[in-house]
Structure 1
């Protein structure tokens, strides 16, 4: 019998459809985990406070009161409605990322910056000009602002890049930032150096006196790799990217839309089969 003290679930491509709602069959097993008193945390690249997430359906209580957003850049307390801690990238480096678009090699790149100012999300193309931004806009709590050099830059939780290339990835790393890079999608998620879901989990594990061997995590993307490598048991769905599959201890027989989370929670946490 497994006795995990902490369950960590990614949202997009894992518990949910990509930029969509929770897969229906996952909802009741997740509620059952919380009901059993096992601490459960959603660790996502999404803005953690976005109403679109619908995390409130599970009810906030002591063992389900914390969320990880922006790939570890913020840890949030739902009950107190406040940040526990955050690790944003500073505005100077954020400006340098935006300046990269002035280089001819990056002329087709598109950026979306979630700043630490809740009222401001910067984009570099209009929503009508980019299907990627159009999809991402479902997470915006306020209307995004088309950025220009005359505007004030803020510290950023995360900067998304679409339609990019390997050269852009290297340039971001040279600035001294972290990037979860998807070569297939030609997209990346940029955070402060060293900031990822693993960092946030280490903070939470220390806060609640949980050993990493007592943590089970599920995720599908490049931004889940460090987390999957860190925990005691990590599981990836069949739809996971290659890097996530390599990092995980186990690969499920099911995809996210087939309810992979439900199957694995029943097996390894709820001990139903």
Structure 2
């Protein structure tokens, strides 16, 4: 079925492998299954936390490590793994944000780790990523946050407050962390360890499997995919990707994420049988 050398295929989720309903189509599942049977190594490399991506990992029947939080966590889902890694943030930064919440106009502060989720409040328009109602053991405060988190997600009350928040974080903690605005309409920024990106996780996977950079294919659509796209031998931007990603990519899919763009590309690239 496949005559080229073994490939490492890195899949972003939202806007890439998932359709516009944030689901895996049957064609995508079939194409990825065929790629694995053909000898390719397929791994999810996503900005999502593991709590919101393990379901897709299971649906794809993957057994490879998964990279979460934009390269800050590498795990073997559902297992304890000696090679697992994580980059964490000093929890005192969270305490500073809580103490200055009103001054900065912060609506939501959520912290996460592999087995950690705490927030200062539920959010009614959780857009699929945050619960609308918190359990008592999910409420963020000085006592409940015992471990350093991997990721801090902050939503400001008004979009015009986002730039000031980013400036505040960089001026006070810029030697430790970096801050990235979310794509889309939500006034949200994500705080993570400085210098860690999706390329960090992709290099980890390549080293683990002994795959050369030239044999890595990475699919993406948003700004957080940039380092992964440029690290991979073949960076593939989705047709629906933002312009800078298309410019950084080696190729662009002829179809969007809602048109099975990843599946169609793999079918063609790997000469896979097309699912009915």
Q: Deviations for 1:151-197, whole angstroms, at most 9, x for unmatched residues? A: 43531121222345122223333313122323653323221111111
| Separation (CA, whole Å) in 2 of partners of 1:153 and 1:261 | 40
TM-score by length of 1: 0.83
Contact 1:67 1:75 in 2 (8 A): yes
Task: List aligned pairs for 1:1-273, cutoff 5 A.
Answer: 2-17=4-19, 20-50=22-52, 53-60=55-62, 64-78=63-77, 80-82=79-81, 84-103=84-103, 106-115=104-113, 118=115, 120-128=116-124, 131=125, 133=126, 135-137=128-130, 145-149=138-142, 151-163=144-156, 165-174=162-171, 175-176=173-174, 177-182=177-182, 184-185=184-185, 186-270=187-271
The CA deviation at 1:146 is 3.2
* Residue range with higher mean Cα deviation, 166-175 or 256-265: 166-175
Q: Deviations for 1:200-235, whole angstroms, at most 9, x for unmatched residues? A: 111222222222111000011222111111111111
Q: Deviations for 1:72-101, whole angstroms, at most 9, x for unmatched residues? A: 111112374436111122222333344453
* Residue range with higher mean Cα deviation, 38-47 or 180-189: 180-189
Aligned length: 263
SS across alignment from 1:28:
helix
SS across alignment from 1:136:
coil
TM-score by length of 2: 0.82
SS across alignment from 1:156:
coil
Contact 1:121 1:143 in 2 (8 A): no
Largest Rg, 1 or 2: 2
Contact 1:196 1:226 in 2 (8 A): yes
| Separation (CA, whole Å) in 2 of partners of 1:59 and 1:142 | 31
Give unpaired runs (5+ residues) of structure 1.
none
Give unpaired runs (5+ residues) of structure 2.
none
SS across alignment from 1:20:
coil
SS across alignment from 2:150:
strand
